[in-house]
Amino acid sequence: MLALFYIFIGVAMAVSIWQITRILDFRGVIANDEDNAKQGKYAIYFMVFLYAIMIYCLISLNVIMLPESASIEGEHDDRLFNTTFWLIGIVQFIMQFLIFYFTFKYRGNKNNKAKFYADSHKLEMIWTIIPAVVLVVLIGYGLWQWNNVMDIDDDEAVVIEVYAYQWGWHARYAGEDNTLGTGNVNYIKGINTMGVDMSDVNSQDDQQVTELYLPKGKKVHFKFRSQDVLHSAYMPHFRAQMNCVPGMVTEFAFTPKYTTEEMRMQSEVREKTKGINKIRAAKGEDLYEFDYLLLCNKICGTSHYSMQMKITVVEEEEYDTWISEQPTLATVIQ
């Protein structure tokens, strides 16, 4: 690969130098009919190139993209995305065709005359109104879905606090009362890494954990805080993201749809995993198995690129067993 790169650099250099040596040929600096014909033809070649890479990427890179949404709320995100993507895809193909085809078709020639065509209210109305109507549909669907996702109230939800710091995540569950005790940086000390106020009765049954377990089919209500700088809690498989802001609590909620095991069995995920493992095997690295992840998606300093926490989605019974085994803060922090 590296050799290829040096070759490319070499070629680029050679071409530039070759062109520079021809610099003395500075006569005829305005495009003539011959140039127009040539450049018009190149426009068509370029259009073919553009279509080729557009289609090639759409097909061959499909496998690297995120699998279908693993949260119930995210289903409509996927549908809205697909609708939008098809729509802009079609417009893109038509517009690029017009741009480069016209460049070729109407390439200049001494014998041609341009059409004097300065205005058409009818045409302009058409291309004001059509985008407007299409946008009304997109905006309508988008806003409906946005309200859907942002409607996070659910008394039955599992409440989890995620606390971001340079460079990692802490998390605690709200315990039996399903209410989180308050927290503040002033209480951070020793093993109380999340700065929980232990004089708050609600804090006693909270459970701090090192990995997230989520029950399938039950709404999970996240509350985010940050200890130092801005972070962003990004859970791409669930179509979920919210910034973690020092000094305030932000929220997001979703309902996991597939357990980790189920997700691993999905064809999209299996194909992607296969591709990844082929690369890893070639390098002699451990094989990879799909896991949900929490990543940081807001620049936060040196190790921004490696900040992560594993998320495991399990059936509700399994979740109940797991959560009952986690020690409460009252027993851990005196």
Partner 1 sequence: MSDHHHKETFVTKYIFSHDHKMISKQFLITGMFMGIIAVLMSMLFRLQLAWPDTSFSIVEAFLGRHQTDGIMSPDIYLALVTIHGTIMVFFVLTAGLSGTFSNLLIPLQIGARDMASGFLNMVSYWLFFLSSVIMVISLFVEAGPASAGWTVYPPLSALPQAIPGSGAGMTLWLVSMSIFIASSLIGALNYIVTVLNLRTKGMKMTRLPLTIWAFFITAIIGVVSFPVLLSAALLLVFDRSFGTSFYLSDIFISGEVLHYQGGSPVLFEHLFWFLGHPEVYIVLLPALGITSEVISTNARKPIFGYRAMVMSIMAIAFLSTIVWGHHMFISGMNPFLGSVFTFTTLLIAIPSAVKAFNYVTTLWKGNLQLNPAMLFSIGLVSTFVTGGLTGLVLGDSALDINIHDTYFVVAHFHLVMGVSAIFGMYAGIYHWFPKMYGRMMNKKMGYWHFWITIICSYGVFWPMHFIGLAGLPRRYYSNTAFPMFNDLADVNVVITIFALVGGAAQIIFLANYFISIYRGEKAIQNPWKSNTLEWTTPVEHIHGNWPGKLPEVHRWAYDYSKRVDPNDDDSDYLHGQDYVLQTTPLLEGEEPS
Restricting to residues 223-252, name those near partner 1 by CB under 8 A.
227-230, 232, 234, 236-237, 239-243, 245-248, 250
Q: Is the four-CA dihedral 193, 194, 199, 203 of positive or negative sign?
A: negative
For residues 241 and 224, the answer to whether their CB atoms sit within 8 Å is: no
Mask: binding to partner 1, 268-307, rule CB under 8 A, as x and -? ----x--xx--xx-------x-x--x-xxxxxxxxxxxx-
- Evaluate whether 240 touches 176 at the Cβ level (below 8 Å): no
Which residue stretch of 142-150, 197-205, 208-216, 257-265 sits at the interface with partner 1 (rule: CB under 8 A)?
142-150
Site string for partner 1, 169-198 (x = CB under 8 A): ---------------xxx-x------x---
Residue 16 in contact with partner 1, rule: CB under 8 A: yes
> Which residue, 306 or 331, has its beta carbon nearer to partner 1?
306
Distance between CA 140 and CA 33 in Å, rounded? 50
d(CA 36, CA 112): 12
According to the binding rule CB under 8 A, does residue 86 interact with partner 1? no
User: Can you read off the two tokens belonging to residue 313?
Assistant: 């989605």
Sheet holding 207-209, edge to edge: 207-209, 168-173, 158-165, 220-226, 250-254
State yes or no: residue 54 binds partner 1 (CB under 8 A). Answer: yes
Site of tokens 């130098």: 17
**Residue 104 or 319 with smaller CB distance to partner 1:** 104
**Type of residue numbered 72:** I
CB of 196 to partner 1, least distance (A): 13
> CB-wise, 4 or 284, nearer to partner 1?
4
Sign of the dihedral through C-alpha 317, 172, 264, 262: positive
Question: Taking the complex as a whole, how short is the minimal distance between the CB of residue 33 and partner 1, in angstroms?
Answer: 9
Question: Does the footprint of partner 1 cover residue 93 (CB under 8 A)?
Answer: no
Stretch that binds partner 1, among 72-80, 174-182, 202-210, 212-220 (CB under 8 A): 72-80
Min CB(172)–partner 1 separation in Å: 16
d(CA 147, CA 128): 28
Q: Which of residues 196-225 bind partner 1 (CB under 8 A)?
A: none
CA pair distance 156, 148, nearest whole angstrom = 17
Q: Is 114 in the site for partner 1 (CB under 8 A)?
A: yes
